């Protein structure tokens, strides 16, 4: 589990500000994912990436932007944060689309 | 849209009893079904998974069954222990014609000593 890290672990921001959440993995996994976790909704996929420079939308992509210039990093940017984006964000990685997804420790984001 | 329904939302059992959590999915393209355990304030961790060409899989006290016809899969925990107390999530993943992963809303399991 130490092979996938997220930063920051906690973030407080204000409505309208840009926020970037970082995700780094050391396993050279091809796939990386961003989820948000809210009470009553479980985990919802925001974006995923099958390889460097290949990204695609998940279930709830609106308001988020991702990039993947290097295999090991997959940052998630909230271009103009809204209160509805207050959540716990988890990054995950896996070797293929049908292998175990290993989750990072999560980032708790509060948008005031 | 596609969804995964998970029941029950809360489950309380006595130590030593069995616990069963059920999930139903809607996307017939789903072909991989993992189960995750999440303790309070921690990250989800895989406990068992099953692929669409298998009907049942067991790992010590944990087993998962899959009925593709009914689009239904279940988690079975036998001889429950207090450390099994956590939130459990099922997921259905489809990787044909694009990639989709849909999680259930979770089941909070309490194991009473």
CA A112 from centre of chain: 20
pLDDT at B42: 94
Taking CB atoms and an 8 Å cutoff, what residues of chain A touch B91?
A: 43
Question: Can you read off the two tokens belonging to residue A19?
Answer: 């926020």
Rounded Cα distance, A106 and B42, in Å: 8
- Contact assignment for A59 to B89 by CB distance below 8 Å: no
Amino acid A21: pLDDT? 98
Q: State mean pLDDT over B12-21.
A: 97
pLDDT digits (tens, 9 = 90+) for B19-68: 999 999 999 999 999 999 999 999 999 999 999 888 999 999 999 999 99
B contact set with A (CB within 8 A): 1, 6, 31-32, 34, 42-46, 49, 51, 89, 91, 93, 95, 98-106
Question: What pLDDT sits at residue A2?
Answer: 62
- Residue A13 in contact with residue A112, Cβ under 8 Å? yes
- In sequence order, which residues have a C-beta less than 8 Å from that of residue B60 and are 6 or more positions away? none
Decide if pLDDT at B98 tops 80. no
Interface test with A, best of B92, B99, B105 (most A CBs within 10 A): B99
Nearest CA in chain A to B47: A100
In angstroms, the CA B66 to CA B1 distance is 22
Question: How many Å apart are CA A92 and CA A102, to the nearest integer?
Answer: 5
Instruction: Using an 8 Å CB-CB cutoff, list chain B residues near A58.
Output: 100-101
- What pLDDT tens digit does each residue of chain A (112 aa) get? 569 999 999 999 999 999 999 999 999 999 999 999 998 778 999 999 999 999 999 989 999 999 999 999 999 999 999 999 999 999 999 988 777 899 999 999 999 9
Q: Over the stretch B73-93, which tens digit does the pLDDT of each residue have?
A: 999 999 999 999 999 999 999
Closest chain A C-alpha to B101 CA, distance in angstroms: 7
Write the residue in B34, B100, B105 that is nearest to A100 by C-beta: B34
Candidates B3, B100, B73; CA nearest to A42 is B3
Residue of B nearest to A98 (CA): B32
């Amino acid at each position: 589990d130490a092979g996938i890290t997220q930063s920051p672990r906690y973030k407080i921001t204000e409505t309208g500000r840009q926020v970037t959440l970082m995700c780094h993995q050391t396993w050279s996994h091809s796939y990386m994912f961003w989820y948000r976790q809210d009470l009553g909704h479980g985990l919802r996929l925001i974006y995923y990436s099958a390889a460097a420079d290949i990204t695609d939308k998940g279930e709830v992509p609106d308001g988020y932007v991702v990039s993947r210039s290097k295999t090991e990093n997959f940052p998630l940017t909230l271009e103009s944060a809204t209160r509805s984006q207050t959540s716990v964000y988890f990054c995950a990685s896996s070797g293929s689309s049908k292998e175990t997804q290993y989750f990072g420790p999560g980032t708790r984001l509060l948008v005031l | 849209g596609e969804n995964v329904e998970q029941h029950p939302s809360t489950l309380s059992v006595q130590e030593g009893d069995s616990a069963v959590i059920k999930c139903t999915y809607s996307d017939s393209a789903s072909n991989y079904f993992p189960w995750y355990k999440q303790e309070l304030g921690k990250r989800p961790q895989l406990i068992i998974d099953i692929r669409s060409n298998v009907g049942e899989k067991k790992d010590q006290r944990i087993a998962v069954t899959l009925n593709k016809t009914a689009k239904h899969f279940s988690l079975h925990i036998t001889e429950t222990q207090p450390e099994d107390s956590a939130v459990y999530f099922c997921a259905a993943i489809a990787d044909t014609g694009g990639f989709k992963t849909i999680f259930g809303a979770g089941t909070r399991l309490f194991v009473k000593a």
